[in-house]
Amino acid sequence: MKRINRFSRIFTILIFVVVASLTAYGYGSLVIDASVGNAVQNQFALFELYRTVNDVSLADEIHANVAWAAQPSDATWRLAAKEQRAFDAALASIRRSVRTPADVAAIADIAKAHRAAVAAAWNVMHLVAARQRAAAKRAYDDRVLPSYENLSHRIEAASQQHIALGNFLSARWKGTEYRLQAAMIGVGLLGLLVLTGLASAMRTYRIRADLATEREIRKLEQAALSDSLTSLGNHRAFREDVLKEISRSRRHGQALTLVLIDVDDFKALNDARGHAHGDSVLVETARTLQAGRREDRAYRIGGDEFAMLLIETDREHAKGSLERLRDRLRERLDGATVSMGFCEMESGFDEHDLYERADAALYAAKRNGRDKTVDFAAIRRQTRLVPVRKSVALQTLLKECALDVDFQPIWNVSTKEILGFEALARPAAYLGLTGPQEAFDVAERQRRVADLDRVCVDKIFAAAAGLPQTQLLFVNITPETLGRADFRAKTIAAAALASGVQPKRLVVELTERRIADTRELLRHVAELRDLGVLIALDDTGAGSAGLEILTKFTFDFVKIDRSVIAEAMLHKRAYGVLAGIVAIAREGGAFVIAEGIESIDQLWFLQKLRGTSPEFGGVSGVQGYLLGRPRRDLPNATAFARYQRILSAPLVERDTVAS
């Protein structure tokens, strides 16, 4: 009997321990489920609040976009004040919902950015009210657009931070849930007879909590993979789906075609008709892309860049479908057009190969006049693709600003003094790029010329601090880069001033070979000139447009390409081209510089022409290895004296002096 009583007591204690343990596990699971679920819901709620702030900010920005275009009325001022109050109220609702110092700091940054944007917008409205429309337009371009872009960036960063945190919490919750379920099963088997009712109730509650949390997780995942403006998949969704579809294409032997789409001249469209119209074009483009077959997928992967995956579609069927799609887009986009490039998946392709070839086809469509659809197979033979290592090298260059800057002297032939220095930015040797030309070729293929220009200019200005204050600094900038909102005339002048280079000492060189839209270029050149910056036409004569450009623009300097000098020494026709360039440049009052002077014969040729042919008297500057190679340091006194002797010696003594 004592043993039975002892066993009964032990059994009772064991049952109590089982019940207590199961209850503790169950309670812990429910608490964790509830807390994590609430945390995920809270993060999504904060994300939605930030979206509300973004919508209010967008309304405010749209009001600012049109503020400079019409004389503001009393209603306009009231509406502006109302929009600003709405923004403050929306931001205040977030401030009440957060506790962490990081969130408080982010809200403070957004509020500060909004105040800057509002101040800029009100300044524009005051200028319009004062009928200073030109000043209002400049203030709109230089301050309002960057301010609202900065504000949008901060709001988007804050909202994405909460999406990321929600995903992290949901992932952590999943792991915790699996561990708790395993423990619950083990404990539940021991106390199954006693705890059947409790387990059933707990499971019912858990199912409800799971469903609620899963709904919130799906919302967060959908938000993280979709574009907020067009509701298409974003760049992250595109990358994930490309990998999946390539794998499925290989596994089942199905055709797959990748299409890349650009809205033509989207920046000009934005500038001419406003950002609200530009957004409507993007939304209509997305709507049209989604209206195709259900199995095809569309994505917005950049500002005006879209992509499509055509499932089980080869190049022949894709071509006809895309031509019809482009026609529909032309009808619906109110005058805007698109360019398309596509490539069919082939054996051995990975996602980089497929994307690179579709991008090459799109580049060909843009280069050949836009509003075209190009199949990579049709241009395969004449297309040189960018190797992966070159693409990686460019990305590294841009990220690390991996450039070396050298300076080459430019001499005034008349005074025998250095006129200024041309800054030459070269990729760092460890990148494996052969030189600046290859770097810009790769950047052009990847549509990152403006980014490379910006890195070069920043690096040059940083290195130019030690140049003499009396001499000019010649800097090459790609003409199309001047059209970027973050690379306007005032931005360039401010960067030069920050490095100690006065605008009147800065000479912006525009290469003849890259000038396309002369009307747009004229506007940007005028903005630079208004700030005191000098303008040079570089590589004149290397292309076919040099004489035409000289007749349309007035340049402060004209730099004659080295090939023109070399050819003029051998052929009469090239001599005529040289004479024509010099004559037109002199008529426009430009200072003419001969580039690539590497031998005494070339210098002698120019000096002889200056003395015997009046039309060549305008060749007043020279630049080349004969009179100074590109170096990081300036010519020392010995080198300077030697170069002066070369320029000053009588022609018959040149060979002796140079040796």
The per-residue pLDDT for range 495-537, each reduced to its tens digit, is 888 888 899 999 999 876 566 556 677 788 888 889 999 999 9
Assign 7 a pLDDT band (cuts: 50, 70, 90).
very low
Mean pLDDT within 213-224: 67
Mean pLDDT within 163-175: 66
Mean pLDDT within 242-246: 91
Look at residue 120 and tell me whether its pLDDT is greater than 70: yes
- Residue 170: per-residue pLDDT: 67
Question: Which class in CATH covers the domain with range 406-421+471-658?
Answer: alpha beta
Look at residue 653 and tell me whether its pLDDT is greater than 60: no
Look at residue 324 and tell me whether its pLDDT is greater than 70: yes
Contact assessment for residue 388 and residue 352, using Cβ atoms and an 8 Å cutoff: yes
Assign 3 a pLDDT band (cuts: 50, 70, 90).
very low
Sheet of strand 256-263: strand arrangement: 297-300, 305-311, 256-263, 338-344, 373-375
- Residue 495: per-residue pLDDT: 85
Of the listed ranges 193-207, 390-404, 634-648, the least confidently predicted one is: 193-207
Nearest to 606 by CA among 407, 411, 409, 408: 411
- Residue 262: per-residue pLDDT: 92
Contact assessment for residue 374 and residue 389, using Cβ atoms and an 8 Å cutoff: no
Nearest to 606 by CA among 587, 584, 626, 631: 626
Q: What percent of the chain has pLDDT over 70?
A: 71
Look at residue 182 and tell me whether its pLDDT is greater than 50: yes
Look at residue 179 and tell me whether its pLDDT is greater than 50: yes
Write down the domain spans for the chain.
2-224, 235-379, 406-421+471-658
DSSP tag of 461: H
Mean pLDDT within 393-414: 91
CA distance 367 to 339: 10
- Residue 6: per-residue pLDDT: 55
Mean pLDDT within 39-43: 62
Contacts 24+ apart (CB under 8 A), 383-390: 385/356, 385/357, 385/360, 386/356, 386/442, 386/445, 386/446, 388/352, 389/432, 390/432, 390/433, 390/438, 390/442
Look at residue 208 and tell me whether its pLDDT is greater than 60: yes
Report the range out of 27-36, 175-184, 359-368, 384-393 with the highest average pLDDT.
Answer: 359-368
More confident residue, 203 or 121: 121
- Residue 446: per-residue pLDDT: 75
Taking the alpha carbons of 269, 553, 414, 603 in that order, is the dihedral positive or negative? positive
- Residue 286: per-residue pLDDT: 92
CATH tag, 2-224: 1.20.120.30
Helices vs strands, H then E, count in the chain: 23, 13
Report the range out of 24-28, 236-240, 407-411, 477-481 with the highest average pLDDT.
Answer: 407-411
Tokens linked to 522: 């004229």
CA distance 365 to 350: 23
Write down the H helix ranges in 368-471: 376-379, 388-400, 436-445, 449-463
CA distance 324 to 551: 43
- Residue 655: per-residue pLDDT: 46
Mean pLDDT within 632-656: 74
Look at residue 552 and tell me whether its pLDDT is greater than 80: no
What rounded mean pLDDT belongs to the chain?
79
More confident residue, 79 or 272: 272
Mean pLDDT within 311-339: 90
**Contacts for 522 with CB less than 8 Å, ≥ 6 apart:** 552, 553
Look at residue 619 and tell me whether its pLDDT is greater than 80: yes
Neighbours of 314 (CB within 10 A): 14
- Residue 553: per-residue pLDDT: 79
3 state SS for 185-249 = HHHHHHCHHHHHHHHHHHHHHHHHHHHHHHHHHHHHHHHHCECCCCCCECHHHHHHHHHHHHHHH
Look at residue 252 and tell me whether its pLDDT is greater than 50: yes
Summarised one tens digit per residue, pLDDT across range 574-605 is 888 888 888 888 888 899 999 999 988 888 88
Look at residue 112 and tell me whether its pLDDT is greater than 50: yes
- The answer regarding whether domain 235-379 maps to CATH 3.30.70.270 reads yes
**Contacts for 516 with CB less than 8 Å, ≥ 6 apart:** 479, 480
Report the range out of 14-18, 213-217, 332-336, 441-445 with the highest average pLDDT.
Answer: 332-336
Look at residue 125 and tell me whether its pLDDT is greater than 80: no
Mean pLDDT within 317-345: 90
Q: What percent of the chain has pLDDT over 90?
A: 19
Environment class of residue 401 by beta-carbon count within 10 Å: exposed (0-12), middle (13-18) or buried (19+)? middle
Of the listed ranges 172-186, 409-423, 512-526, the least confidently predicted one is: 172-186
Contact assessment for residue 139 and residue 123, using Cβ atoms and an 8 Å cutoff: yes
* C-alpha gyration radius of the chain: 34
Assign 111 a pLDDT band (cuts: 50, 70, 90).
confident
CA distance 628 to 407: 9
- Residue 4: per-residue pLDDT: 46
